[in-house]
Amino acid sequence: MKFNENFLKLEENYIFNDLKLQIQELENSDTEIIDLGIGDVKLPLFPLVTSAMKKACDELSEKKTFLGYPPSQGYLFLREKIARNYLDEGACVDADEIFITDGAKGQLGNVLELFSNNLKVLFLSPCYPAGAEANILLGNKVTFLSGNKENSFIPNPPFDKSFDLIYICSPNNPTGSAFSHNDLKIWINYALSTGAIIIYDGAYSAFLPDGYPKTVYAIKGAKNCAIETRSFSKSLGFTGVRCGFTVVPKDLGDCNKLWKRRLGCRFNGVSYPTQRGAEAIFCKEGKAEVKKRINFYKTNAEILKIALKNKNLWYNNTVSSPYVFAKVPNAETSRDFCKKMLAKIRVVATPGSGFLQGGEGYFRLSAFETRKKILEAADRILTL
């Protein structure tokens, strides 16, 4: 049996699995480890979410309200709520263009089943590695366009080149930089002029402040060239529940029809209780709770920035992200610096090299922690 040799092109361990292994090696030490490396939420699910999920479970315990397999596209009640929310964001998306998923991560690779192999694929980097690794495993030709401090990690398109697919994430993970309407317009026009399709990762769209487009479809022409995926993981605390959605516009050739066909043979849908829990958040009370939680994590990020500033460490000063992207001091490699942080102050950070080209020389801190631990981490950083 011959195996996929493209696995040899990847690092031995996925970056976040590697962090977990490092934590396990020190978990019995005298000083508590504060994990700011893996971006997993710490605040519990909203009561209105769990109430809706409990009610859904009760329905499943009764013969007259029991449900079997969910629709592979997702229940209409949730898709309609998401479609209405798009209107609030200045975009028109039909419920039949929305597909409920188990989050955004898997979709960055799953969406490739719509297309042929041997594609030319562009990633704006540093970037979340899941999409790039999925393309590498399929043998696609992956190119990285690195952002930097000078362009606020939002590079312009390479107008002298063309690609089949372009991956864009806003606000970006790990840098936190967000695309303005004009930034996105430039990329949409570039995609339309070259025939490229944009895979738009909006997993952190809830963190965007007013004035920034919450969706790629707020830009004219985007429905002719973009597929968008989002997650409820960070905004609703669904990392352990798993739910999100992907939008495949009908204006995008046969993609919508093909994606429905793909789901019919590859996906059994997201559970009914999970979708009822997600639906519950699309009300006035739910949106207020989401905003409160987003602000909590953003305040955590600001606390970490103060500590970095007091240590004279440069960081990307954005207000759009639950992450802090900072410069490694003293010309150290990002992995060496993060290992030193873990060994000396027992704080876990993600080395920038894990976010592929353009990430080396930086490290990422996650603000997904309790306020007590964030304050403790900030104090420890000052002792580095």
Q: Domain of 297?
A: 5-44+286-381
Q: What is the mean pLDDT of the chain?
A: 94
128 and 222 co-located in one domain: yes
Percent of the chain whose predicted confidence (pLDDT) is above 70: 98
163 and 262 co-located in one domain: yes
Lowest mean pLDDT among 17-21, 49-53, 64-68, 125-129: 17-21
Query: What pLDDT score was predicted for residue 28?
Result: 66
What is the reported pTM? 0.95
Is it the case that residue 332 has pLDDT exceeding 70?
yes
38 and 53 co-located in one domain: no
228 and 304 co-located in one domain: no
225-256 pLDDT tens trace: 999 999 999 999 999 999 999 999 999 999 99
Q: For residue 156, what is the domain's CATH number? A: 3.40.640.10
In a 10 Å sphere around its CB, with 0-12 CB exposed, 13-18 middle and 19+ buried, how is residue 323 labelled?
Answer: buried
Span 152-171, average pLDDT = 97
241 and 341 co-located in one domain: no
Percent of the chain whose predicted confidence (pLDDT) is above 90: 89
Query: What pLDDT score was predicted for residue 375?
Result: 98
Counted domains in the chain: 2
32 and 137 co-located in one domain: no
Span 6-27, average pLDDT = 75
38 and 123 co-located in one domain: no
Span 108-114, average pLDDT = 96
Phi-psi region of 221 (alpha: psi -120 to 50; beta: other; left: phi over 0): left
- Which of 284, 305, 334 is the last residue in one of the domains? 284
Query: What pLDDT score was predicted for residue 323?
Result: 97
Is it the case that residue 189 has pLDDT exceeding 80?
yes
- Which of 284, 301, 322 is the last residue in one of the domains? 284
37 and 57 co-located in one domain: no
- Residue 39: band (very low, low, confident or very high) from pLDDT cuts 50, 70, 90: confident
- Which of 284, 309, 338 is the last residue in one of the domains? 284
Query: What pLDDT score was predicted for residue 345?
Result: 95
275 and 320 co-located in one domain: no
294-316 pLDDT tens trace: 999 999 999 999 999 999 999 99
224 and 166 co-located in one domain: yes
Q: For residue 330, what is the domain's CATH number? A: 3.90.1150.10
172 and 319 co-located in one domain: no
**Residues 365, 384: Cα–Cα separation, whole Å:** 15
294 and 329 co-located in one domain: yes
Span 144-169, average pLDDT = 96
Query: What pLDDT score was predicted for residue 12?
Result: 74
